[in-house]
Chain A
């Protein structure tokens, strides 16, 4: 007879994440961020009072994975949609989940004005420096000399301007309360992101203003790398230009 082994269950997927296959490519950061976000929603016990807004981009189907009420916004309009929701349901938790094209190109106007109004919402901003869903065109955050299908000779300043540090821009606005840049390319960074999301929801409960969490992420498929190569490239190229850490934190006396 075989020896019985009693194992303690130390981890399971959050119940706020639906048990379905995701459409994301192997190694993509989206799946991890979805899971972390839903873990926080579960741990805070706010599933019944959280409404998410999905963007246009690779995460357009975010609502297929998150077991909460959600709305799908037009490209770039997620924070306007979230503003509409939050204004009529001010005591609910509202977040947008947006990519770099959605937030920093077509939706720049909405992003800045939502932040400037100090809307009490959280934006999770996935920056992977490329348009994933449309298979690899230049993003506003594409690095200089980075090759994409629309910058086949590399992004050049003369033609395409500079990679947009929109998170730094938002941090300057008085309506923005908490602005931070995180990543999910190592387990340690995943843990830090989780803390940041929990903090942002806490601030939303206290009606402190707009919270923005940029997640510097990868795109193995369109960067044309293996997941491991992509994470290494992210560390060597993305992080020097988009350094991790808090860009705006609440004044000390306000923190409870």
Chain B
């Protein structure tokens, strides 16, 4: 491992992108993630990278399409309203199978909403977001360290599967300062993909990047190719953290910032002798259905905690499949739950189950 630095989450993510060999960044300022563009505009440009402040998120994501299609390792970042604007382009990128990294530092919505942290874009990130049947690989960091680590993982996964990858963070993770250690990583190992539009040489057929398959049979085939890929991703790339779930009566399920708050609540409850476990998905797509289903055989019930009106809870209910009660506690619109809120919820659940 390398040097330890004290950084904001947004800056750590930006620094990691440079170290991961990101060749080009296209983005548009929006709170609470503008530090990424600001950091890269100096640091990445000085180190030979390409940074372009686009005229909109719509333009940014289409620049990503072009540059990724030309074989470059590329990233864009934004926050909720900006990510909504990108959805058309993300759908095209998913269909054309272009590897890239998209970061959503979520803020409260709907609409212009608030600049405070939120997790209300879970459905948009994990279930599609744009039109058509497609999925992003979605990584959910819960610390400044993971804001950096998941950048390296994200770029590698994008290349491995020719698929867009999203880091789904939130305003608190973007703005908080913590220590971060950048791992050793050699970006020079990456080669320009053979399918990239780099100019048709005599020794190969022309390369075409498109999401247009006008014949329905061909479009169906493209869908089948995508679905097979997603099935393989679900089989091999599920990542989660499991804390004290072995002896647990109750399981807290949360990701990102909510998971950190749940961890504190878990410690408070354990002090009082309540056996609480924490299951934290690190990948939101693919989702850790299997481990949750297995836990359902051993525990009394689940409590899902999110900074939204209840989105991931639907996946937990799918995983548990009626075996046990799945309760939900959420705060909306940029409000963050406290550990005490969660302790109170578990105490209520203990009385009824």
Q: Which of B103-111, B120-128, B195-203 contacts A (4 or more CB under 8 A)?
A: B195-203
Q: Let me know if A48 and B199 touch, CB within 8 A.
A: yes
Q: What 0/1 pattern do residues 281 to 304 of B give for CB contact below 8 A with A?
A: 000000000000000000000000
Please determine whether B66 and A53 come into contact, CB atoms closer than 8 angstroms: yes
Chain B: CB-nearest residue to A74: B92
Q: Which of A71, A83, A113 contacts B197 (CB 8 A)?
A: A71
Residues of A within 8 A of B198 (CB): 51, 69, 89, 92
A84–B207 touching, CB < 8 Å: no
Within 8 A of A (CB), among B185-237: 197-202, 206-212
* Interchain CB contact under 8 A, B66 and A84: yes
Question: Contact flags (1/0) for A11-33 with B, using CB distance below 8 Å?
Answer: 00000000000000000000000
Interfacial chain B residues near A87, Cβ < 8 Å: 24, 50, 52, 63, 67
Q: Is the CB of B211 within 8 A of A72?
A: yes
Determine how close the nearest CB of chain B comes to the CB of A83; give it in whole angstroms. 5
Question: Does chain B have a CB within 8 A of A73?
Answer: yes
Question: In the complex, what residues of A have CB within 8 A of residue B52's CB?
Answer: 83, 87
Q: Which of B54, B64, B74, B201 has the most CB of A within 10 A?
A: B54
Q: Is the CB of A81 within 8 A of B62?
A: yes
Interface residues of B in 27-65 (CB under 8 A from A): 50, 52, 54-56, 58-60, 62-65
For the complex, give the distance between the alpha carbons of A63 and B205 in Å.
13
Known: A53-B66, A81-B66, A87-B52. A70 touches B197 (CB 8 A): yes
Once A87-B24, A88-B72, A109-B55 are accepted as A-B contacts, the answer to whether A73 and B63 lie under 8 Å apart by CB is: no
A37 at the B interface (CB under 8 A): no
Assembled-state Cα–Cα distance A67/B199 (Å)? 10
Cβ–Cβ contact A72 & B209, under 8 A: yes
Contact check, B197 vs A82: say whether CB atoms are below 8 A apart: no
| B62 engages A110 (CB within 8 Å) | yes
Is the pair B55, A81 in contact by a Cβ cutoff of 8 Å?
Answer: no
Min distance, Cβ B16 to any Cβ of chain A, angstroms: 20
CB distance from A42 to the nearest CB of B (A): 12
10 A-B residue pairings within 8 Å (CB atoms):
A50-B199, A63-B206, A67-B206, A71-B210, A74-B62, A74-B92, A84-B70, A87-B50, A88-B24, A109-B58
| A positions within 8 Å CB-CB of B | 47-51, 53-54, 60-61, 63, 67-74, 77, 80-89, 92, 109-110, 113
Q: A84-B63, A113-B54 are in contact. List 12 more A-B contacts (CB 8 A).
A: A68-B200, A68-B206, A70-B207, A72-B96, A73-B65, A77-B58, A80-B60, A80-B62, A84-B69, A87-B63, A89-B70, A110-B59
The list of the 9 closest CB pairs from A to B, nearest first, reads A84-B66, A84-B67, A81-B66, A72-B210, A80-B62, A84-B63, A69-B197, A77-B62, A113-B55
